[in-house]
Structure 1
Amino acid sequence: MGILQNFGIQENLASLIVYGGAGVLFFVVAAVFVLILTYLERKILADIQIRLGPMTAGPHGILQPLADVMKLIFKEDIKPKNRDKLLYFISPILVFIPVLLTLVLIPFNEFLSFANVGVGLLLLIAFGSITSLGMVIAGYSSGNKYSLISSMRSAAQMMAYEIPMIIVALSVVVLAGSMNFVDIVNAQQNLWFAVPLFLGLFVFFVAIIAEMSRVPFDTIEAESELVAGFHIEYSGMRFAFFYLAEYLELFIGSALITLLFLGGWNGLFAIPIIPEAVSGLFWFMAKTFALVYVAIWIRGTLPRFRIDQVLNLGWKFLIFAALLNLAIAGIIAYVF
């Protein structure tokens, strides 16, 4: 910013250029992550189903995500006549922007953090709730009965799984003594929280999968029941925002589990010669993409649950398991 001011650019304009450029750069990085994840998911699912997957666009189909992007850019933007114009317009933004802000809060290692705030965990959970609100608004504003049913399911599912997720996150805060992600990771240098809080890891992983509405919890997008879910009336770039948010959530959810339970950038062993910052980034990405693989593997393996089964699991089992995990964390913190 100081460099721009040296060229005679006013401070307000310099701030706009710097932060605007950072926002564009961050959006590009997020889009690249989504391209990688979509390609990986297609190839992994194809391998599970004994297929080849995309093979036409580029070598081994590596350019298929770019072809999908071009298709969405040039696709006609069809709007339903009986939509709520304002809510229909802002709902893709309400879904995508909080997810992008959530990605800003994720530290990739101790030295690479875009926004290292003291209450990062609290902010991340809050942004996730706004995303769910955007899904509800999208379904309501479309003027379609199937999207409305999907949005109602989304609200019910969010309440059923957000509570156990918050309780488990609180148990991590009890052990780490902080809501800052760097402090939480540093507290796991000797022992990952996945060991004493194994039950919490299981509950949190299930809750994250349900929050992302991925198989087997994809009742809000059940094709056989609701055609395409809450975004059935969206096309073109409006649909692309939902698409980007869905795959960014997959990465963010996996990264969050890595930070809270798997030691973050703390490696299983030291990598000689390689600097600590690089090795930390390697371990963080390796753990995160391992969890991404597990989520994709679950999608290719399990059938979809019914909505009543999904809600029963959240209200009747996960909440009590999360409370038990919180009690275990309290005992460990008191004794040790």
Structure 2
Amino acid sequence: MQAMTFIGPVILLGIVLGFVTIAILFERKVIGWMQGRHGPNRVGPWGVLQSVADVLKLLLKEDIIPHQADRSLFKWAPVIAFIPAFAVLAVIPYTSSLFFADIGVGLLYYIAVSSITTIGVLAGGWASNNKYALLGAMRSAAQMISYEIPLVMAVIGVVMSVGSLNLIRIVEAQKDLWFILPQFIGFVVFFISSLAELNRTPFDLPEAESELVAGYHVEYTGFRFAFFMLTEYVYVFAMAGLTTVLFLGGWNPLFGMDFIPPIIWFALKFSLIVFALFWIRATLPRIRIDQLMQLGWKVLLPLALANIFLSAILKEIPWINQFY
């Protein structure tokens, strides 16, 4: 049991690092293809070793700490940001028998732990003693807190339909009907809010190069900078997995296609969400900070409230209630 307690997180870390390596290359290739560019094509055949070269470059770069920075907090901030991103992966079920932790309040655990990353981002910006880093950190805190509210409220309809916060039970409840149909408004609100939570385009205001140089991590170099980047891509993995579980039926197959293994179904839906994230980055421009806040508070929050109201009504309709 002790050996499995140690081996499990190591296996999960290996899977995540492999995903991050492939996702970075895939993102650059997809964006290059969509924008009529080649993308990486110099390091290795067709540029497949570009991510490996980037990692080696970051590991070999000099580790610089600003003279007037808070040295201890500056060093710990990337770790504080990364640990919650990795910890939330434990509760995501990939099949009915493939998961690392099955707890009764898995969804609540994910939401609570993932919010801790904001502390690491804020600490990194403040500890750098740089006004651009601090502005980026404050933007990130305001953005994550603002969009955390519609994100959480968007999943209340799912919880009401299932009557449980357990992620495995949520997937099992979608055996006949995926929640993306009855909870379509919740899915749209959740997906848009997740883009803001991930600092992905068009909500990448905390890292706006044209305004803040690089945002909260502007003073970070080498391996510490890589930790912040790793955190963002780990959250892409986590959020795509959670979206698949909550709205796309997890490992449940399409009707009449049970011959495909459940893990393949999960991987296909997961890959579709990841591709959508990259597609949006290649397509949409960055919005202004006032537009960001107005969208969160004046559009997504009312829609999330309306979805809760509609979910309560649908729950009382007999012919719809039979699917839950």
Indicate yes or no: 2:288 matched with 1:300.
no
The equivalent position to 1:235 in structure 2, one of 213, 218, 221, is 221
Quick one: which of 178, 181, 186 aligns to 1:200?
A: 186
**2:53 maps to 1:67:** yes
**Structure 2, unaligned stretches of length 5 or more?**
none
SS in 1 for 2:284: coil
Deviation for aligned residue 1:332: 1.8
Q: CA deviation at 1:86?
A: 2.2
**Paired residue secondary structure (2:116):** helix
1:293-318, Cα deviation, whole Å (9 max, x unpaired): 11111101111000110011001111
Instruction: State the aligned residue count.
Output: 318
Partner of 2:35: 49
Q: Is 1:226 aligned with 2:212?
A: yes
After the TM superposition, which residues 172-187 of structure 1 pair with which residues of structure 2 at under 5 Å, given as runs? 172-187=158-173
1:197-236 alpha-carbon deviations (Å, 9 max, x no partner): 1111100000000000110000100000001111111111
Deviation at 1:256, TM superposition (A): 1.0
- CA drift at 1:270: 4.4
**C-alpha distance in 2, partners of 1:21/1:236?**
28
Identify the residue that residue 10 of structure 1 maps to in structure 2.
Answer: none
The equivalent residue for 2:199 is 213
Q: Does 1:129 align with 2:111?
A: no
Letter in 1 for 2:241: A
Query: Which residue in 2 is equivalent to 1:327?
Result: 309
- Which residue is 1:94 aligned to? 80
Aligned to 1:7: none
| 1:165 is aligned to 2:151 | yes
CA distance in 2, matches of 1:59, 1:114: 35
The one of 174, 180, 184 equivalent to 1:188 is 174
Distance (whole Å) between structure 1 residues aligned to residue 156 and residue 306 of structure 2: 12
Secondary structure of the residue aligned to 1:213 is coil
Q: Distance between the aligned counterparts of 1:178 and 1:290, measured in 2?
A: 26
Q: Does the alignment pair 1:40 with 2:26? A: yes
Matched residue SS, 1:300: helix
**Equivalent residue letter for 2:309:** A
Calculate the TM-score normalised by the size of structure 1.
0.92
> 1:8: which partner in 2?
none
Q: Percent identity between the aligned chains?
A: 47
Q: CA deviation at 1:129?
A: 0.4
Residue 25 of structure 1 and its aligned partner are, at CA, apart by 2.9
3-state SS of 1:331 partner: helix
TM-score by length of 2: 0.95
Distance in 2 (CA, whole Å) between partners of 1:53 and 1:237 is 24
Q: Which blocks of at least 5 consecutive residues in structure 1 are unaligned?
A: 2-14
The alpha-carbon deviation at position 19 of structure 1 amounts to 3.4
Distance 1:116 1:224 in 2: 44
> Over aligned residue pairs, what C-alpha RMSD do you find?
1.3
Closer, same or farther: CA 65–269 of 1 in aligned 2, 3 Å = farther
- Counterpart-to-counterpart distance in 1, 2:256 and 2:80: 42
- Give the superposition deviation at 1:26: 2.4
> 2:179 and 2:12 mapped to 1: Cα distance?
30
